[in-house]
Amino acid sequence: MSVNILLSILVTSVATYISRFLGVLSSVRIKESSKIFRWFNCLAYATLAALIARTIVFPVGALLEASYLSRILVILLSLGIFFITKKNFVYPTVFSAISMTIINNYF
C-alpha cells in the first residue's frame, strides 16, 4: 500500500512539474496584451469563480453546518473589506475565516 502511495505522489509530481516547466518555456513568447493571454486569464478567473460558487452553494465538510445566511453575510462583509483595502486579497481572506468561525460558534 505505501508503495502505491509513493508511486502516485511521484507520478502526480512529475506531471505537475512538467506542465509548469512547459509553461515557463512557452511564456517567453506570449505577450501579456495578446488576445489569447487575455482569454486564458478570463478562463482562469471564471473557473475560480465557479469553484467558489460551488463551495458556497454545495458545501462539503465543516462548511456544510453553516447556514446560507451566514455564508452570504461573510461573503458580503469580505467583499466590503476587499474594496475598502484597495483590492487586497489578504485582509478579506483572513477576515472571512475568522468571521465564519465567530458566526458559526456564537450565533
Q: Are residues 37 and 53 in the same domain?
A: yes
Q: Are residues 73 and 101 in the same domain?
A: yes
Q: How do the pLDDT tens digits run along the chain, 107 residues long?
A: 688 889 999 999 999 999 889 888 887 877 888 898 899 889 999 999 999 889 888 998 888 889 999 999 999 999 999 999 999 989 999 999 999 999 988 87
Q: Are residues 24 and 36 in the same domain?
A: no
Note down the domain range covering 19: 1-30
Number of domains composing the chain:
3
Q: Are residues 76 and 103 in the same domain?
A: yes
Q: Are residues 85 and 97 in the same domain?
A: yes
Q: Is this prediction's pTM over 0.75? A: no
User: How many helical (H) and strand (E) elements, i.e. helices and strands, does the chain have?
Assistant: 4, 0
Calpha distance 78→92 (Å, rounded): 5
Q: Are residues 13 and 50 in the same domain?
A: no
Query: What is the pLDDT at residue 93?
Result: 92
Q: Are residues 15 and 42 in the same domain?
A: no
